[in-house]
Chains A and B, each alone.
Chain A
Amino acid sequence: MHLPLSARFPMEGTVSGHHKSPHRGSSVEFAEYRNYVPGDDIRRLDWRVFGRTDRFYLKEFEAETNLRCYFVLDCSGSMGFSKAGQSKLEYAKKIIATLAYLTIHEGDAIGLICVGEKALIEIPPRRNPAHLKLILDTLLNAKPHGETGLVPVMHDLAEKIRRRAVVIVLSDFFCEPAPLMSCFQHLRFQKHDLALFHLLDRAEVMFQFDRPMRFVDMENNFSLVTEPAGIRDEYLRQLNLFLEQMRAGAHEFGVEYRRVITDENYEKALGSFLVERAQA
């Protein structure tokens, strides 16, 4: 038995599915009674209620539809960081591959956007199983490179997606928080179900070095020689401040925010993600 990817909000799909729709439909799930108004289909009148009350009522049922899920993968240079073990990009690929597999087997559509300095690859959502191979092949070939253009790509995405969809972003979000917040707000304004996987390496959150180092920026090769012990406190203070801004921004705009350290088991992170969604 597998746990499907559930949407937290009603979705607008093109075909029938397992997810709530904002519209009323013909499923077995009773929704409500409502008064008859001229123009309604008289075949939907509940005659038993008419017999008991001498009034016309229509019995309505929930509509269920499929969802469209967009995976946004940050492929900037910083995602290639790894002090020991797998990089953030590798970790993100595993999460996307797993979720894609689960989602497409539920009959839902999945799409993928790889983001570098701009949208490098855009695969529109499809629901046929053959589409999964394309997604997996694309993930396999994704390499970290350059600076991140996550903010403009997400704004573009918010404008492009016409129907409500699930948008899952996997990134380290190492950019200015304010523009990011506007992205979140934009996507939520379009009533998309936005989920963020904030990927961090253990070395980034601990920052434990015992000797002077020359740090080289993985996105633009800028280098900085410094004594880590001397700036550790300030570094961690800045990082914590940023993480707190991310958490608060996500909470403000109703975005699901999940911080993941890449030395943790991704199955565990994914499991809690799916369970919480299923229970929502």
Chain B
Amino acid sequence: MTFLHPILFWALPLIFLPIIIHFLNRLRHRPQPWAAMRFLISATRNSASHTRLRQFLILFFRVICVLMLIAFMARPLAGGWLGWALSPAPDAILILLDRSASMEMQSGGITRREQAIKLLTEAASQFEQSSHLVLIDSATRQPQDLAHSADLARLSVTQPTDTTADIPAMLHTAFNWLIENRAGAAEIWIASDSQRSNWLPEDPRWKNLVAQLTSLTQRVRVRYLALSLEPEANGSVALKELIRRQGAGKSELQFLLDIQRNRNSAAPIPIAMNLDGTKSQMEAATEGQSLRWRQRADLGTHPAGGWGAFQLPADSNLRDNTAYFVYGPDIPMRAASVCADPESARCLQFACSDRSAHPAEAVPAAEFASAKLDDLSLIVWQEALPTGPGAERLRTFAEEGGVIVFFPPAHLDAQRFNAVSWGELQDAEADKAFRILRWDEDQGPLARSDERFSLPLSQVTFVRRQQITGPKTVLAAFEDGSAFLARQIVGRGEIYFCASLPNGDWSTLSDGTVLVPMMQRSLQTGARRLQQVTIADCGELSAADRTRQWESVDAPGKDIRFQAGVYRSGERFMAVNRPAAEDEPETLEMSDTQKLFGSLPFQPFQERAAAGPLQGEVWRMFLFAMLLFLIGEGILILPSRKPPTPIGGRTAS
């Protein structure tokens, strides 16, 4: 057992205070002449042993109370013998180890994962003879039997990864193991850094999980080792967006990076970029903790694809310092429009022109089901919402990475697409117009330009609109809150719903100052449908990709399932980065964690000292013990029930 404030043990001699007071009190006795000495002597003789025992107990309780008070104030941390070994050995111990990238945060030269393994090994060693040890790691989520606790440090499934952790899923795996193996009393030991994005406290699976674990006939206890080491200075970089743009005879890469650091500093952040083996050094200036950083890289006339990475200097977590990317060869981007309104169709076709200034291809709605979509990245739909095979083709198009922009059909339409439908038509009052004053300028087709200029959307006047109803994310809204542009993410692609038309009777969108960048950006976004190269999150490969043979390009010997990097499978490149959730700094409070487990027996341990044993605060135990001893002492010093006292005036004759 260790203590957070061991200096308070200098006050340990205070435990002798009750004894000293006791003897001082005895020395302060007053002489009292007494007549009935024979009863006094007899009473002293008869009750001497009892009185001595009671006095000894009172003194003992007082000494223990002072000791408990000092220990309580010193914030005791229960280690292995108290926190763990005192419990009866369960039949099975399921060790759930968080191997996510955030667990590689170092403190005192040791990462959270290494510290967790060390502490778990120590604790499990006491049970390896009596309990069945099973490891479930966050990356594979495959139960693995442990013959010896020392294996924890040696197994490949306890090594670092760039994946994220899904604690509810790990618990579900543990539950299934308990069911399949018909284990008796079991304990689930969870080691994690309490990262909120790993624990997903709002996830509805928690309720079912706790209900299932509680309903098990065998006793299941949860012990949670929270690795809340104070992090040292750390920075992280993540790639948010990569676009290859073709200019006049040359092309360039446009990067959007999210850079974060856990401490405020005015110092610029040095960033190293590796582009196809060419290294360059640059700096990002910020005074805050996070920065959205845009960067361009000139590819010249290089037509083919390649790969690269952005890297921060080494800090306390080496796993979040690199963002990998791959880019493909320049490909043409084409759009198709399915429009009923001729004026809108003309505007939209020109707004969606390709690099050669060829307008978008017009496709009649009736022929859409058989139209060729292979080389398209954008479809503009200004018709009644599709149904049947047409709707299915559109959905597949979006899931493959394409972008669909729906415009109002200009009449009431009862159909739905992805649960979204068109509502009533609304006209602005005479001499008035619908206005848009605020919209999302950080992302989407209405975002600011690279030069940080806003699109002139507030200058566009709208006199007619058609309401968008159904589940959606609103990117721009009119003054009265009605949506102008809404988005749905479907698979790898996006679906937009725009509430007005580029038609003189509807709006001034046909001026093109907003419509053209909006449609060109959508065209650009949809181009990923045609790219063979992709950027994926580590641990979240699609089923098809998992079946391929991947070879690491940036460094030898990497495993695409667990480690970030650039991989190649035949002609296809893939950049794998740690999931963005791993950069989120929010952690779950211990009290919130405990609430997740409801009525399940839950014992938290917070590991704070870098080299200390597996410990949890047990000050409550000392407080209760002190109270118990105080009550005991109070009972002992309580005056006994008043015995009948003799009174005068009694006569016998």
Taking Cβ atoms with an 8 Å cutoff, the residues of A that contact B are 8, 77-81, 88, 172, 174, 200-201, 204-206, 209, 211-219, 222-227, 229-240, 242-243, 247-248, 250-251, 254-261, 264, 269, 272, 276
Contact = CB atoms under 8 A, between A and B. Distances in A.
Nearest to A210: B639
B43 A238 contact: yes
B29 interface: yes
Contacts of B649: 258-261, 264, 269, 272
Given A78-B36, A218-B35, A227-B55, A205 B647 contact: yes
Contact of A81 (B25, B28, B33, B54): B33
A132 B30 CA distance: 43
A247 B650 contact: yes
Interface stretch (B44-52, B125-133, B480-488, B599-607): B44-52
Interface in B1-49: 25-26, 28-44, 46-47
Interface of B: 25-26, 28-44, 46-47, 51, 54-55, 639-640, 643-653
Contact of A230 (B31, B47, B648): B47
A78 B640 CA distance: 29
Contacts of B41: 224
A234 B651 contact: no
Nearest to A222: B37
Contact of A235 (B25, B31, B43): B43
A211 B47 contact: no
Contact of A238 (B35, B39, B55): B39
Contacts of A223: 31
A174 B55 contact: no
A211 B29 contact: yes
29 contacts: A78-B35, A172-B36, A174-B35, A200-B648, A205-B645, A205-B646, A213-B29, A214-B29, A215-B37, A216-B34, A217-B34, A217-B37, A218-B33, A222-B37, A225-B26, A231-B43, A231-B44, A234-B43, A234-B44, A234-B46, A237-B643, A239-B646, A240-B643, A248-B652, A250-B653, A256-B653, A264-B649, A272-B651, A276-B651
A174 to B, nearest CB: 6
A242 B36 CA distance: 11
Contacts of B640: 232-233
A236 B37 contact: no
B651 A238 contact: no
A47 B47 CA distance: 78
A216 B32 CA distance: 6
B647 A216 contact: no
A250 B26 contact: no
B641 to A, nearest CB: 9
Nearest to A229: B639
A72 B113 CA distance: 97
Contacts of B47: 230-231, 233-234
Nearest to A257: B652
B28 A211 contact: yes
B646 A238 contact: no
A232 B26 CA distance: 17
Contacts of A264: 648-649
A275 B535 CA distance: 119
Chain A CB count within 10 A is highest, among B44, B644, B652, for B652
Chain B CB count within 10 A is highest, among A232, A239, A256, A261, for A239
Nearest to A213: B32
B645 A214 contact: no
Contact of B651 (A79, A200, A215, A258): A258
B651 A256 contact: yes
Nearest to A242: B39
Given A172-B36, A211-B28, A213-B30, 19 more contacts: A211-B29, A218-B33, A218-B37, A219-B35, A224-B41, A225-B26, A230-B47, A231-B47, A233-B640, A234-B47, A236-B646, A238-B42, A240-B646, A247-B652, A250-B652, A257-B651, A258-B650, A259-B649, A264-B648
Contacts of B645: 205-206, 236
Contacts of A250: 652-653
Interchain residue pairs A-B with the least CB separation, the first 3: A261-B648, A78-B35, A230-B51
A212 B652 contact: no
Contacts of B55: 227, 230
Contacts of A234: 42-44, 46-47
A32 B34 CA distance: 57
A214 B26 CA distance: 10
Chain A CB count within 10 A is highest, among B35, B46, B639, B649, for B35
Chain B CB count within 10 A is highest, among A80, A225, A233, A242, for A233
Given A233-B47, A236-B643, A172 B32 contact: no
Contacts of A272: 649, 651
B652 A230 contact: no
A77 B35 CA distance: 8
A240 B643 CA distance: 10
Nearest to A231: B43
A255 B46 CA distance: 32
Chain B CB count within 10 A is highest, among A8, A215, A222, for A215
Contacts of A226: 40, 44
A240 B32 CA distance: 22
B649 to A, nearest CB: 7
B20 to A, nearest CB: 15
A254 B651 CA distance: 12
A242 B42 CA distance: 12
Contacts of B28: 211-212
Contacts of A261: 647-649
A222 B36 CA distance: 12
A224 B647 contact: no
Contacts of B32: 209, 213-216
A189 to B, nearest CB: 17
A205 to B, nearest CB: 5
A231 B35 CA distance: 16
Nearest to B47: A234
Nearest to B640: A233
A272 B650 CA distance: 11
B26 A212 contact: yes
A224 B484 CA distance: 100
Given A78-B35, A205-B647, A216-B33, A224 B44 contact: yes
B40 A224 contact: yes
A239 B648 contact: no
A256 B47 CA distance: 34
Contacts of A269: 648-649
Contacts of A227: 26, 51, 55
Contact of B34 (A215, A255, A260): A215
B18 to A, nearest CB: 15
Contact of A231 (B51, B646, B647, B652): B51
Contacts of A219: 35, 37
Contacts of A233: 47, 640, 643
